[in-house]
């Protein structure tokens, strides 16, 4: 589950973890925090690895806005090989779902869309490796 404000933009080296944990987006992603009203910025790599990729940053990350409804976004691939892949998303708060739906890979301008595309890209790469 990734932070709802995390815009994944590039793959990070996973060798910092040994063994690598099961990562919400499939692989470790670097990217941008879109939370601050002053504008997006690229958090430190340790923050990206421990909070942005893993979600549930409320009270742990100084940039996480207190009034935010969701704590994390989780993606899951439906069984069966379809192209494009069939993916569902769940937005969680306190480890309970507060919103869910089918992910539309045609979505363009949202953080959820960017995370969904990163999830699909990572799963494709991991399947082929
Ligand atoms: S964990 Fe913190 S720094 Fe990372 S995207 Fe969320 S609010 Fe921003």
Predicted pLDDT of residue 22: 81
Centre of ligand 1 to C-alpha 79, Å, is: 31
Domain boundaries, the chain: 6-128
111 C-beta closer than 6 A to ligand 1: no
Q: How far is the CA of 84 from the centre of ligand 1 (A)?
A: 29
Q: What is the pLDDT of residue 109?
A: 81
Distance of CA 29 to the CA centre of its chain: 8
pLDDT at residue 127, as a whole number: 84
pLDDT, the chain, mean: 91
* 52 pocket-lining for ligand 1 (C-beta < 6 Å): yes
Check if 56 has its Cβ closer than 6 Å to any atom of ligand 1: no
Could you tell me the distance, in angstroms and rounded to a whole number, from the CA of residue 10 to the centre of ligand 1? 16
Instruction: Specify the ligand 1 atom closest to the Cα of 6.
Output: 5
pLDDT tens digits for 10-19?
999 877 666 6
What is the distance in A from the centroid of ligand 1 to the CA of 70?
Answer: 13
| Tally of residues, the chain | 129
The pLDDT of residue 52 is above 70: yes
What b/e sequence results for 11-33 when a residue is b if at least 16 CB atoms lie within 10 Å of its CB, and e otherwise? bbeeeeeeeeeebbbbbbbbbbb
Cβ-contact 77, 67 below 8 angstroms:
no
**pLDDT tens string 66-117:** 998 899 999 999 887 677 789 999 999 999 999 999 998 777 789 999 999 9
- Residue 17 is encoded by which pair of tokens? 């973890």
CA-nearest of 6, 111, 93 to 51 is 6
């Amino acid at each position: 589950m990734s932070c709802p404000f995390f815009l994944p933009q590039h793959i990070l080296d996973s060798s910092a973890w040994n063994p690598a944990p099961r990562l919400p987006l499939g692989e470790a992603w670097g990217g941008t925090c879109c939370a601050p009203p002053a504008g997006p910025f690229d958090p430190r790599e340790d923050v990206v690895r421990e909070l942005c990729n893993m979600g549930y940053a409320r009270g742990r990350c100084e940039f996480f806005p207190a009034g935010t409804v969701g704590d994390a976004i989780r993606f899951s691939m439906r069984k069966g090989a379809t192209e494009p892949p069939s993916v569902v998303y769940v937005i969680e708060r306190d480890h309970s779902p507060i919103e869910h739906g089918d992910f539309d890979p045609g979505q363009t301008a949202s953080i959820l869309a960017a995370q969904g595309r990163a999830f699909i890209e990572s799963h494709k790469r991991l399947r082929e490796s």
